[in-house]
Structure formats: C-alpha cells, structure tokens
Amino acid sequence: MHTVEHLTVRISRVFPHGADLPLPGYATDGSAGMDILAAVDAPRVIPPNTTALIPSGFSLELPAGFEAQIRPRSGLALKSNVGILNAPGTIDSDYRGEVKIIMTNFGAAPFTVNRGDRIAQMIIARYARVAWAESDTLEDTARGAGGFGHTGI
C-alpha cells in the first residue's frame, strides 16, 4: 500500500464569517483535494457569464517550497456550468490574507452560492525555484519543436 506524506500547515479562521464553518477537509481517504466551503453571510447569486469573488473564511501559513492550488469541483462544472476562472489558482507561501475563490458562472441560468456550499478543491503541492542556465542551444529530442496536435487527433 502506498503511504501518503503528511504535512502540518497552520490555518487561521477569518472572523466572523469563518467562525462556524468546517476547515477544508478530504471527502474520502483517496481524495487528493480538500473541499473548500463558501463563507458567504447570505446567499450570493452569480448571474450567467459573470464572475464573483467568494470568501473561504480561512487564511494559511504554508511552508516555503509549497503552494496551495485552488481547483474547480467537477460536480459544479458538470451540473451547473460553474468553474474557477484562473484554475488552478495559486496561493503562495508568503500570502497571509483570506483565501478567496474566483467563481465563474459559464451557464445560462443564475447560480446561487449558499453558506457552507462546497465550492472548490485545494491541493497542497511542492514546487522548485528555478535558476536559469541560458544557452544558445538545447539538447535535441525525438519530438523537437512539435507542438499542438503534432501527434494527431
């Protein structure tokens, strides 16, 4: 059986609107992403073809070398045509403000966000900082410069 790495991350509730909501959590043992809940005070209607910034009710203190990736929920996308405009969104390790979700209603009908609705997923991921080594040439590969659609449909 594969062992999953555990990482302790400091989290802080944003008061008063985040006080009584559960913190982000995993729905199943195999879930990669934690569900984020809407910390709206009242139902928030997102009209068709518009975007709204929805509060989560929490802030993070991520360790250096980690980011939080904010991703859409597949059920909202399929059933309601709602997604996250800049997916995946990145929460940097030095950001201490409230995590907010940029939700977009791509559908034809208004979409209502209620307090406690699961609106996004969050994955904590490692990243590396790059030191560029500028060069006049790059190593050849079988693919070369083949790009969009170069292997067929």
* Extents of the domains making up the chain: 10-126
Position 153 pLDDT exceeds 70: no
pLDDT value of residue 1: 60
pLDDT value of residue 149: 75
> Which of the listed CATH numbers 3.40.605.10, 3.90.1150.10, 2.40.160.210, 2.70.40.10 matches domain 10-126?
2.70.40.10
pTM over 0.75: yes
Could you say which DSSP state residue 25 is in? B
Distance CA 138, CA 125 (A): 29
CB 91 within 8 A of CB 46: no
pLDDT value of residue 5: 85
Mean pLDDT score across all residues of the chain = 94
Q: What backbone torsions phi and psi does residue 74 show, to the nearest 5 degrees?
A: -65, -35
Q: What backbone torsions phi and psi does residue 79 show, to the nearest 5 degrees?
A: -85, -30
Q: What backbone torsions phi and psi does residue 75 show, to the nearest 5 degrees?
A: -65, -40
Distance CA 81, CA 119 (A): 12
